[in-house]
Amino acid sequence: MKKNTYLLFPVALSFLLACSADVGYAPDKDYSGTSPSYNADELGDLPDCDSKHEGLVVHVNYYPSHDYACSEGYWVALGQSTTDKKLPDVHETSDDAVALHEKFKNVESVQILDTRDNKVYKAVVLGDLVWMAENLDYETQYSRTNPECDDFGIKCGRYYMWNDAMYGDDNSSVCLPGMRLPTEEDVEKLVEFIGGVSNGYVLKSKSYWEESEDAPLGTDELGFNAYPAGYKSSSRNYIEYFGTETVFWTGVTYGYNSSLTLSLYSHNSILGTNWSADKDNYMNVRCVGDL
């Protein structure tokens, strides 16, 4: 590892292949009364019905209220289900998914020092990049805070307009010395590390997100700890979407008044990218650095 001034010391920190499904219609075993253990969006998302999955019952969302059981080589339709239990994704049982989540367990946590105001931040090493695991809280002339975060005891950091984040008060990035606003390549590496944009839930904090029937709760498996801090649009004078969304600036500009942003939402598990974010909006910052 190359030496960087922002790295202090390590701290211990403790996809998916869709398979075609053969569907049968006459189960040889009695599955009546068996509750599903997993969800799948549609039949094509079911894994092969092999010995590993024998007896597994899955609720398939595309056919409302229908369950399927893996029975002797075939996925068998069990009819309607009345379950309203929030179930994990069936793909979490795949070998690729297991390996991915094992990789997450080995993510290294570090601390970084902002020499400008002596604030110390948590950060995580994801591949060959160091990502802040807290929102930047460096005060600039135009940055603002969110009192609602204080009410809940959440460290939301500060909210910045894009020009403020990109150029700060001295024509340089608001990021810590040696770090930067994420580039497009940095974003691509993050998406690759988490196993795709649909795995954004592994970046979310375990608490404070509004629950949704359509999305898994945050697992924070990387220690990234993204809070639903919301943001302030240029047409409002207050922070919106607190509890349901968080948005981070990148350093990528698009047109005269737009930039690329990273977003997480309560209603889905996606790590979203938006190429048309208004630079006059106030959003949070997660800086990134090279190893």
pTM, two decimals, is 0.74
* Calpha distance 55→76 (Å, rounded): 10
Q: In terms of C-beta density within 10 A (0-12 exposed, 13-18 middle, 19 or more buried), how is residue 106 classed?
A: exposed
Q: Does residue 164 sit in the same domain as residue 110?
A: yes
Q: Tell whether 262 is covered by a domain.
A: yes
For residues 77 and 110, membership in a common domain is answered with: no
Are residue 86 and residue 124 in the same domain, yes or no? Answer: no
| 114 in the same domain as 71 | no
- CA distances to 22, 237, 264, 266 from 273, rounded to whole Å, are 36, 24, 9, 15
Percent of the chain at pLDDT exceeding 70: 86
- CB of 180 closer than 8 Å to CB of 290: no
Q: Are residues 35 and 142 in the same domain?
A: no
Q: Which pLDDT score is estimated for 86?
A: 64
Same domain, 171 and 42: no
Residue 66 placed within a domain: yes
Total domains in the chain come to: 2
Q: Is residue 13 part of a domain?
A: no
Among 23-27, 31-35, 45-49, top mean pLDDT goes to 45-49
Does residue 98 belong to any structural domain of this protein?
A: no
Are 204 and 264 found together in one domain?
Answer: yes
| In-domain check, residue 99 | no
What domain range includes position 28? 23-93
Final residue in a domain of this structure, among 93, 121, 140: 93
Tell me the two tokens of residue 279: 């630079």
* Same domain membership, residue 198 and residue 132: yes
C-alpha 194/C-alpha 190 separation (Å) is: 6
> Each residue of 166-220: pLDDT tens digit?
998 777 899 999 999 999 999 999 999 999 998 999 999 999 999 887 777 899 9
**Strands 7-11 and 108-114, how do they pair?**
antiparallel
Indicate the average pLDDT of the chain: 85
Same domain, 132 and 230: yes
Predicted confidence (pLDDT) at residue 54 exceeds the cutoff of 50: yes
Q: How far is CA 142 from CA 246, 277, 279, 281, in A?
A: 20, 18, 13, 12
Q: Does the residue 100 lie in any domain? A: no
Residues 257 and 117 in one domain: yes
What is the total residue count of the chain? 291
Which pLDDT value is given to residue 254? 86
Both tokens of residue 176? 């810590």
Residues 206, 286 share a domain: yes
CB 262 within 8 A of CB 273: yes
Do residues 31 and 144 both lie within one domain?
A: no
